[in-house]
Structure 1
Amino acid sequence: MENCTERDARGSIVVLQLVVYTPVLALGIPLNAIAFWVFCCKIKRWTETKVYMINLIVADTSLLFTLPFLLYFTKYKHPIDQLCLAIQNIYFTNMPMSVFIITLIAIDRYIAIKFPLKAKVLRSPLKSASVCGFLWIAVIICSSWHRTRHSGQEGFCFQKQSLLSRYSSLFYSICGYFIPLGIVMFCSVQVIRCLKKKMATGPHETKLFQKAVKIVSVNLCVFAICFLPFHISLLLRFAVEGAGAHSLMPGVKTYIQVSACLANCNCCLDAFCYYFAAKEFPEFSSMFPKCVFIRSKMNQSEESQPPTDQVMV
């Protein structure tokens, strides 16, 4: 039986989810729809960035699709049936896919700016699509395997905070976020350092590179702010369960649900990533003139410098 404290906590979580997810749905659906239309219909040339952006849009849209179900399942105790398992599979696939795709974008940006000559060999739309396809298959298989293992258990949909064992949850956090976070931080810092070195070319170019540095910095901050609290909560759950401090588990579970709300906001905040990605495409010149101008100046600066200046840090 559910006691009064648990019932009040669940009611508060329902209110929080309603407050957070209503604007996320209101903004996320049109923003992702517009982004999908622009990248698929308006941009004719296929590039690595276009491939990553489309995959990120698909991941974000899949999460938006599950949010109404999540609200309903949290408010009204829904049994674990095939509908629940299907929604959980889609929901739990989104976060690792978003993390991995954003990591790939950071790596791709790092290679393009730091090693422009090698980038011609290392980068291609086909290679990007192949990597994304492999990630989708791997993440979907892993997610489905963990969910189906517990398909016969008693309980309610989305009520169990993790279907993973303690050590599987630890492995998921380290490999699914903290290692990618380290990669994104390294690539972003290296890109920022490389851009700052090029700020001495002139006052106008300096202003353009400062804007580019802000773009990389904003993307890094969004990546950390959205996902870090949730994965810290999983580590906290691992520590509490390992210590046998069962009295702290209700608070940890509440923290997991609150931080999950913040993590799910990423599907809306990724719109900034879509906007800044526009600088990669000439077709966007009429929509995003400043972004295209920044990109063209960055390319001119790279081409005017010796290759050794671009590689050395």
Structure 2
Amino acid sequence: MENCTDINSTLQNGILLFQLIVYIPVLSFGFLLNTVAFWVFCCKLKSWTETRVYMINLMVTDCFLLFALPFMIYFTKNKHPIDDLCFAVQMIYFTNRPMSIYIIMLIAIDRYIAIIFPLKAKSLRSPLKSASVCGCLWIIQIIYSYSQQKFQESKEKFCLQRHSTEPKYLTLFTISFGYFIPLVIIIFCSVKVIKCLKKKMASSFHDTMLIQKALHIVSVNLCVFTVCFSPVYITLLLRFIAEVAKACSLLSKLRVSILIFSCLANINCCLDAFCYYFAAKEFKEFSSLLPTCILKRSKVNQSQESQQPTEEVTL
């Protein structure tokens, strides 16, 4: 079972070449786009909004991930021992990738509340509440990543190269709460928002155009998130199943797949930069539509209240 996860040198060189092809453009455009985004969100915007809080947090996670990528290439090529440098890079990587997913989930929830519950949105949403939620998530994720890395130190010899074939049940917890549960929440919120926008606020041509643009943004964000993260987390789940089943022949193939799909997942830290502008513009345009929705909701509530006495008499 010791050689189950070994990769031959030819395949190793192919993976390194693939990483270089993917990561060099991601690093170049990622740092440029995130620098521009940082300047816009921190220097050009005057008022603090929920969107601004989430975008700055997402930008921070992406910058940390970009910082870790060169080390990921080096650790893939070389059997680097688990030392302080390795521990720091692993902490950065395994803290910020889940945080990126959680913040995207928070953006979806915030959008869901703003569109589905416009009357309650003012009491449920605020920049301070958004910052508090992000702060709590950062603390929880840092503590969890630290404890996970400390536990793994005694199990592995080399940095970011897992050779043990013993199933880690903590991995199942990480996969579930780190991706699949956020994915279900994001899909639920996005589908509900899409259905709501299709039904309401199409009284004018201007509103219809805004709704179509919003639908496009929500759909694209959902597709990008699913395409980037699903392959690597599904493969991690398959590796866990293979370890439980002692399927040695599959483990080396799954390790190669994880390295390749991790590249696809890390592309998201560059693609997020394109979402900064669209997400901010989306919420700005939604705000012009919300009064219409609130007015419609108020009329519906008033008509229901006027009908209540009659209904009570009938009952």
Q: What's the TM-score, normalizing by structure 1?
A: 0.89
Partner of residue 299, structure 1: 290
Partner of residue 54, structure 1: 56
8 Å CA contact 1:81, 1:151 repeated in 2: no
Within 5 A, what are the aligned runs for 1:23-172? 23-152=25-154, 155-160=157-162, 165-172=167-174
Report how far residue 306 of structure 1 moved: 2.7
Which residues of structure 2 form unaligned runs of 5+? 302-315
Whole-angstrom distance in 2 between the partners of 1:162 and 1:146: 15
8 Å CA contact 2:201, 2:293 repeated in 1: no
Letter in 2 for 1:299: L
Structure-2 change in CA distance of 1:307 and 1:192 (3 Å): farther
Q: Percent identity?
A: 58
Whole-angstrom distance in 1 between the partners of 2:208 and 2:156: 61
Which residues of structure 1 form unaligned runs of 5+? 282-291
Letter in 2 for 1:301: T
Report how far residue 150 of structure 1 moved: 3.0
Within 5 A, what are the aligned runs for 1:220-231? 220-231=222-233
Whole-angstrom distance in 2 between the partners of 1:118 and 1:171: 33
Structure-2 change in CA distance of 1:226 and 1:309 (3 Å): farther
Report how far residue 204 of structure 1 moved: 3.1
175, 188, 199: which one pairs with 1:173?
A: 175
Within 5 A, what are the aligned runs for 1:225-304? 225-279=227-281, 292=284, 294-295=285-286, 297-304=288-295
Higher gyration radius (CA): 2
Whole-angstrom distance in 1 between the partners of 2:262 and 2:276: 22
Whole-angstrom distance in 1 between the partners of 2:126 and 2:30: 29
Report how far residue 74 of structure 1 moved: 1.6
State the SS of the aligned residue for 1:200: coil
Partner of residue 212, structure 1: 214
Whole-angstrom distance in 2 between the partners of 1:187 and 1:262: 24
Structure-2 change in CA distance of 1:35 and 1:161 (3 Å): farther
Post-superposition Cα deviations, 1:92-114, rounded to whole Å, max 9, x if no partner, equal 11111011111111000000111
Letter in 1 for 2:15: I
Work out which structure has the larger RCO, using CA pairs closer than 8 Å and 6 or more positions apart in sequence: 2
Partner of residue 203, structure 1: 205
8 Å CA contact 2:105, 2:185 repeated in 1: yes
Whole-angstrom distance in 2 between the partners of 1:133 and 1:165: 32
Letter in 1 for 2:147: W
Whole-angstrom distance in 1 between the partners of 2:165 and 2:57: 26
Structure-2 change in CA distance of 1:8 and 1:307 (3 Å): farther
Whole-angstrom distance in 1 between the partners of 2:6 and 2:229: 31
8 Å CA contact 2:82, 2:158 repeated in 1: yes
Q: How many residues are paired up?
A: 299
Post-superposition Cα deviations, 1:201-255, rounded to whole Å, max 9, x if no partner, equal 1233212211110011111111111111111001100111111111111001011
State the SS of the aligned residue for 1:306: helix
Report how far residue 165 of structure 1 moved: 4.9
8 Å CA contact 1:146, 1:163 repeated in 2: no
Structure-2 change in CA distance of 1:276 and 1:161 (3 Å): farther
Report how far residue 55 of structure 1 moved: 0.5
Q: What's the TM-score, normalizing by structure 2?
A: 0.88
Letter in 2 for 1:298: L
